[in-house]
């Protein structure tokens, strides 16, 4: 069964193009390391909630936009091996490819795919 990594993050709105370029580079490396597909989405209609919401989860600031993304892997073992390679890849190191947002406010996790239609 497929395995999915998902995340949300707050990206400075002014960094949209930097984020897109960073995501395109990362996407190619994830695919080299076994990912089947991935998506990175720029928030357009992401309302603030009363109890919880995407903006609240990432402590969104006024000059930021919520991004939402996922990576689909064949299985968890491929994901674990791929992520290990990704973390060691020189192209992903902070001095070579710094992330254009505050990674401490990123929310992420791994999920077993239950339904795909």
| Close Cβ partners of 103 (under 8 Å, ≥ 6 residues apart) | 9
Q: DSSP label at 98?
A: -
CATH number at 9-66: 3.30.70.100
Q: What is the reported pLDDT for 82?
A: 97
Note the Cα 102 to chain centre separation in Å.
12
34 Rama class: left (phi>0) / alpha (psi -120 to 50) / beta: left
pLDDT at 94 over 90: no
In this prediction, residues 97-115 reach a mean pLDDT of: 94
What is the radius of gyration, based on Cα positions, of the chain? 15
Q: How confident is the model at residue 96 (pLDDT cuts 50, 70, 90)?
A: confident
State the pLDDT confidence band at 95, using cuts at 50, 70 and 90: confident
């Amino acid at each position: 069964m497929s395995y999915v990594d998902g995340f949300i993050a707050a990206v400075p709105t002014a960094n949209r193009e930097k984020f897109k370029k960073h995501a395109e580079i990362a996407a190619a490396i994830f695919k080299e390391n076994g990912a089947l597909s991935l998506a990175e989405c720029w928030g357009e209609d992401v309302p603030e909630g009363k109890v919880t919401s995407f903006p609240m989860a990432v402590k969104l600031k006024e000059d930021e936009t919520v991004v939402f993304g996922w990576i689909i892997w064949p299985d968890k073992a491929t994901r674990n091996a791929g992520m290990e390679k990704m973390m060691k890849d020189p192209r992903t190191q902070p001095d070579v490819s710094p992330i254009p947002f505050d990674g401490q406010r990123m929310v992420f996790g791994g999920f077993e795919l239950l339904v795909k239609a």
